[in-house]
Structure 1
Amino acid sequence: MFRSMLVAVDGSDIGQKALEQGLAVARAMEIPVHVVHVIQTAAYPALALSDLPPPDIAQQALLDALYREAEEILAGAERTAAAAGVPVTTHKQLGHPGAEIIALARKVGAGLIVVGSHGKGKLGRLFLGSTSSYVVDHATSTVMVVRCEPGAS
């Protein structure tokens, strides 16, 4: 049915739950898994501009910290996958999370994208945006949205 899967992780509990459920599906279907963490540049406007000169010391320190955090999140995903007996390939992306998830899914040929949803509702999406909603609305692949438990964050 699917040749491969892409699971997006962000270091949150719901991201971990999405990873675990994605790994269970991948193991049952015997398909390869790609795990991605996207460093969201929109949260740091100075980093979101592509025509910037080389980063200054403060920008470079911020980028270094964000990359270290991404590496820690992906290392945790690798440990979770190893414990589940599922090999994974990890990816670090920089940009808009939804757009980067979709672009990577196309690049690796993932027929299934797994994302977590914090369940903020329409008002929360209006003010905060929603990566899962963006992926559902724009992906050409099948999308599995893993929801958090009511009252969880």
Structure 2
Amino acid sequence: MFRSILVAVDGSAIGHRALEEALAVARAMGVPVHAVHVVQTATYPSLTLNELEPPTIAQQALFDALDREADEILADAEEKGAAAGVPLTAHKRQGHPGAEIIALARELGAGLTVVGSHGKGRLGRFFLGSTSSYVVDHAASTVMVVRGEPDAS
């Protein structure tokens, strides 16, 4: 039914549940998973780094922290994929999370996109919520929205 699955991960409890669900579906169907984490530069307009204007030390430090966090989240997803016996490829993007998830799903031809209903990254910024609504509204493929446990945030 699906040739591949894309799952958005952000380091939150709901993001972990979304990854678990994506891996379970992939294992059952025998398809690979692509995990994406979007460094949300849209939340921090001053982080949109360009070649014409070098970043300040503070901008670079914040961007580096967000970038390291993305690497940790994606490394965790790769470990979970390996433990589940599911081929998993990690993707790191920058920009608006919803738009980047949709763009990557189209690029990959993912038949299923999995997102959490809402979540928060470890540095306290929102990743999913309005993002899950955006993905549902704009996706060209099937979308699975994973809800957290009643007491999860």
* Sequence identity (%): 77
2:44 corresponds to which letter in structure 1? Y
> Following the alignment from structure 2 to structure 1, what is the Cα–Cα distance between the partners of residues 143 and 43?
25
**CA shift for structure 1 position 45:** 2.1
1:47 corresponds to which residue? 47
1:108 corresponds to which residue? 108
Partner deviation per Cα, 1:57-107 (whole Å, 9 max, x = no partner): 221111111110000000111111111111210000000000000000011
2:57 corresponds to which letter in structure 1? I
Distance 1:146 1:60, change over 3 A: same
2:24 corresponds to which letter in structure 1? A
2:97 corresponds to which residue? 97
> Following the alignment from structure 1 to structure 2, what is the Cα–Cα distance between the partners of residues 70 and 113?
19
Instruction: Report the TM-score when normalising by structure 2.
Output: 0.88
Distance 1:20 1:71, change over 3 A: same
Instruction: Report the TM-score when normalising by structure 1.
Output: 0.88
2:84 corresponds to which residue? 84
**CA shift for structure 1 position 55:** 1.5
Where do 1:18-29 residues align within 5 Å? 18-29=18-29
1:36 aligns with 2:36: yes
Structure 1 residues not aligned, in runs of 5+ = 120-127
Where do 1:53-64 residues align within 5 Å? 53-64=53-64
2:38 corresponds to which letter in structure 1? V
Structure 2 residues not aligned, in runs of 5+ = 120-127
Distance 1:129 1:149, change over 3 A: closer
> Following the alignment from structure 1 to structure 2, what is the Cα–Cα distance between the partners of residues 60 and 8?
25
SS in 2 for 1:41: coil
> Following the alignment from structure 1 to structure 2, what is the Cα–Cα distance between the partners of residues 54 and 81?
37
> Following the alignment from structure 2 to structure 1, what is the Cα–Cα distance between the partners of residues 141 and 47?
29
Partner deviation per Cα, 1:120-140 (whole Å, 9 max, x = no partner): xxxxxxxx9611100000111
1:99 corresponds to which letter in structure 2? A
Where do 1:105-144 residues align within 5 Å? 105-118=105-118, 130-144=130-144
Quote the RMSD (CA, aligned, Å): 1.8
SS in 1 for 2:146: strand
